[in-house]
Each structure stands twice: as structure tokens, then as C-alpha cells.
Amino acid sequence: DTAVSQTPKYLVTQMGNDKSIKCEQNLGHDTMYWYKQDSKKFLKIMFSYNNKELIINETVPNRFSPKSPDKAHLNLHINSLELGDSAVYFCASSQDYGGRYQETQYFGPGTRLLVL
Amino acid sequence: AQKITQTQPGMFVQEKEAVTLDCTYDTSDPSYGLFWYKQPSSGEMIFLIYQGSYDQQNATEGRYSLNFQKARKSANLVISASQLGDSAMYFCAMREGPRTNTDKLIFGTGTRLQVFP
């Protein structure tokens, strides 16, 4: 009965590789997000999708490509991984968008990516 | 300019005591939401409490309460009767409303709380 799930939980890979992280939510929410938490624990938005449509793309390198096959899933594909991509990536979801500032975002458990 | 400021990188509190974690924010949008999240050492982000900009009363959720002072743009988290399991990073976050019309949470840098026996 996990609300927001991510796979894998840990990802260790070599520089230059391509990898994907998957996210699924069973809360019936319309909007999903990817956040990056760096080594200093700072969290920053990367992307958001509402009903499969890209809403936010926060100046992320185009090596990062989100894909939303349906509103319950949001995957993150990363090409040509670099050392600086090492971080924790969180998926989140919320009920609505467009000024619905009251809506809580619920986070997945995070994916710890280490690029060697 | 920082939109969310948490000035306490670390805090210590004795078990059973109350502790206040500070958060100030900056926005020109009259509508906004303020959120606190807890991140224990296991890494997940746990939603704790929400305060809306138009809410007349301070939010409370169990041992968590939010000391919301709108004129001062502060939204401090108060944890009463601290427990060892409260040891974690705590993040303050803001989501702006229709005037800004962005969907993202803006986070502060976090406060690491250590509860000692």
C-alpha cells in the first residue's frame, strides 16, 4: 500500500552510462515531480508533470529526460552520466496544479545515485 | 534572494523538552502554503504539517505545531515533548500561489535536530 514508490533504491554506475529511475504513485494524484537532493542535502525541483504533460523544466541539462506514460508514473532517464549527477533523486506527487498551493506533495523513498 | 531561510544548521534538545526550529520566507504572492518535512537518517521525506497563508489559526498535528507570524514572514516548527525518534533533518518549504503560478516546493537548507536522553 505504498503511496509513492521508486525503483531502484540504490544505483551505482560508471561515468558515461545511461540509467533510468522509475516512479509510481497510487494516490490518484494528477501531478508528479522529480527533485534532486545534493550532497549538502539541498533539495531542488527538476521537473513536474500534470496528467502526462510537462509543466516545469527547471534548467536541467538535456541529458535528463523525464517520461510520463500515464498520470500514475513518472520515469527519469539520464544519459551520459557524470560525476556531478551523484545525488538522491526524489519523486513526489500532489493532487493538482495551477496555483493549488495548499496541496501537499508526498515523496517517494528516494533513489541514491552514485556515479563512479 | 533566498525564498526560504533556515538559520539553524543544527539544534540539540533533551528528550521530553520542546524545541523550535526557525523558518523565514520571502514571497510577494499573497497566497502561499508553508510545509515542514522530516528526513530521518533512513532518507525518506515525511510530510509533517501545513500552514496556508490565509489560515487564521496556527496549524497543529499531534506534537507538531506551527508558529505562524505572517507579518514577520516566519513559520517556525515547534516540537513538543521531544523523543529520540525526532532526531532528523527538518526542512521548511513554500509553495506559491496563482500570482506566481509555479507548482514547485521551494526548500530551505534544513536544520539537523539531535535529541539526547
Q: Please state the rounded mean pLDDT for residues A85-96.
A: 93
pLDDT digits (tens, 9 = 90+) for A93-110: 998 755 577 789 999 999
**pLDDT band for position A114 (50/70/90)?**
very high
Position B101 scores a pLDDT of 66
B44 at A interface, C-beta within 8 A = yes
A-to-B residue pairs, Cβ atoms closer than 8 angstroms? 75
List residues in chain A touching B: CB distance below 8 A. 31, 33, 35, 40-45, 48, 50, 55-56, 58, 88, 90, 92, 97-99, 101-110, 112
Q: Please state the rounded mean pLDDT for residues A56-61.
A: 83
Strand partners, A89: A36, A111
Q: Please state the rounded mean pLDDT for residues B53-68.
A: 96
Residue B10 has pLDDT above 90, yes or no: yes
Closest-approach residue (CA) in chain B for A31: B103
d(CA A97, CA A49): 9
d(CA A100, CA A91): 19
Task: Report which of B91, B106, B103, B39 is spatially closest to residue A93, judged by C-alpha positions.
Answer: B103
Residue B25 has pLDDT above 70, yes or no: yes
Q: Please state the rounded mean pLDDT for residues B2-21.
A: 96
C-beta of residue B58 within 8 angstroms of C-beta of residue B69: no
Task: Report which of A16, A78, B75 is spatially closest to residue B67, judged by C-alpha positions.
Answer: B75
Q: Which residue of B103, B106, B113 to mutate against A (max A Cβ within 10 Å)?
A: B103
Q: Please state the rounded mean pLDDT for residues B69-90.
A: 97
**pLDDT band for position A35 (50/70/90)?**
very high
B105 at A interface, C-beta within 8 A = yes
What are the strands, taking DSSP E only, across chain B?
4-5, 10-14, 19-21, 24-25, 32-39, 46-52, 60-61, 64-69, 74-79, 88-96, 106-107, 111-116
B25 at A interface, C-beta within 8 A = no
Q: Which amino acid belongs to residue B98? A: P
Q: Tell the residue number behind the cell numbers 523544466, with chain if given.
A: A57
**pLDDT band for position B104 (50/70/90)?**
confident
Residues 6+ apart with CB under 8 A from A11: A19, A21, A111, A112, A113, A114
Position A98 scores a pLDDT of 57
Residue A85 has pLDDT above 90, yes or no: yes
Residues of B (56-85) whose Cβ lies below 8 Å from A: none
B52 at A interface, C-beta within 8 A = yes
